[in-house]
Structure formats: structure tokens, C-alpha cells
Amino acid sequence: MDFGIINIKTIATEKNGALSYFEGGRDIPFAIKRVYYIYGVPCDAKRGGHAHKQLQQFLFCPHGKIQIKLDNGMSKAEIMLDSEQKGLFIGPRLWRDMIWIQTDSVLCVMASEFYDEDDYIRDYNAFIDF
Ligand code: T46
């Protein structure tokens, strides 16, 4: 399945917190064209329920805990985004659901393409056919 955990580079100080960073095309395998973030989601809420035809994305949760469920039509995987330093690369053609485990969790997403609704597959049977 085309996904992978990426440990985000982090520079920690003794008293003044930490700084984490990544660079498009270097730490993540694509140049970043779009950034969006999702917040204000109640605990146990589920978002997603779609796949992308071509889009590659990199997800991380700088605050809170969010479960990501992936499905390629033949096998499934579950990843918990529960650290500021843990990122998830998701390739195309993967059905995804995101479940908010903790209220006020923030999901940040870097995307390889501009927003294009035509790249979405929002029907599971159509995804399987695709
Ligand atoms: C994904 C997961 C991880 C825009 O107008 N521009 C944008 O850049 C995005 C991402 C969304 N939208 C619109 C499309 C919908 O009318 O915002 C509305 C909510 O989008 P959606 O229901 O697709 O949101 P999620 O949280 O289910 O999915 C989002 C991304 O859309 C999707 O690409 O992989 O986060």
C-alpha cells in the first residue's frame, strides 16, 4: 500500500520547546502546492470517506490525536497521528477516513496539487471500480 510514516526533523531546546520542520521534495517526496488544516472537530467525529486519483499528501497532527484509516481495496491500515514529530505520506488511490480521538486535535495537510474536486472519488464502489 502506498503510504509511509515520516519522522519529522526536530530541533529541541532544553527550556524553550522544540522546532520541527520538513522540506518539500526533500523530506517528503513531492513539491508542496497547497496547504490546508482542519480544526474544531469534536471527539469521535469522522471525516474523509474518499480517495484521490492522483493527489499525494503529507499529514501531521501538531496538537492532539487523530486516527487515519487507509484502504486500497484489498488491504487496510490504521495509523495514529499522536506526536508532533510523526508525519504520514499518503499516495494516490487510497480510500481514507480520519477519526478525531481527541477534541481540538489539528490536522495539517501538505498536498502535491491545487484543489481539484475532479480528483476525488467519493463513492466507495466507484473507488473499487477505479
Ligand atoms: C483529504 C483529507 C485528509 C476546498 O475548497 N479546498 C481544499 O483545499 C480542500 C481540501 C477542501 N475544499 C472543500 C471541499 C469541500 O466542500 O472543503 C470542503 C470540505 O472538504 P472535505 O469534505 O473533502 O474534507 P475532508 O476533511 O473529508 O477531507 C480533506 C481533504 O478534502 C482530502 O483531500 O485527503 O482531508
State if residue 108 touches ligand 1 by the CB under 6 angstroms criterion.
no
38: Cβ below 6 Å to ligand 1? yes
Which sign, positive or negative, has the C-alpha torsion 125, 93, 34, 67? positive
Q: Note the pLDDT of residue 50.
A: 98
Residue nearest atom 29 of ligand 1, based on CA coordinates:
48
Q: Which pLDDT score, from 0 to 100, does residue 55 have?
A: 98
Q: What is the mean pLDDT of residues 91-95?
A: 97
Overall size of the chain counted in residues: 130
Q: Does the pLDDT value for residue 1 go beyond 90?
A: no
Summarize the confidence of residues 99-121 as an average pLDDT: 97
Cα dist. 58→12, 45, 55, 110, 126 in Å?
22, 21, 10, 5, 24
Span 24-82, pLDDT tens digits: 999 999 999 999 999 999 999 999 999 999 999 999 999 999 999 999 999 999 999 99
Cα angle, residue 20 at apex, residues 28 and 84 outer, rounded to 5°: 90
- The whole-angstrom separation of Cα 123 and Cα 125 is 6
pTM, two decimals, is 0.96
Q: What b/e sequence results for 78-106 when a residue is b if at least 16 CB atoms lie within 10 Å of its CB, and e otherwise?
A: ebebeeeebbbbbbebbbbebbbbeeebe
Got the DSSP string for 66-130? EEEEEE-SS-EEEEEE-STTEEEEE-SS-EEEEEESSTT-EEEEEESS---GGGEE--HHHHHH-
Average pLDDT along the chain: 97
Residue 18: what pLDDT?
97
- Ligand 1 mean position to 11 CA, how many Å? 31
Backbone phi, then psi, for 125, in 5-degree steps? Answer: -65, -35
Indicate whether residue 57 lines ligand 1 (CB < 6 A).
yes
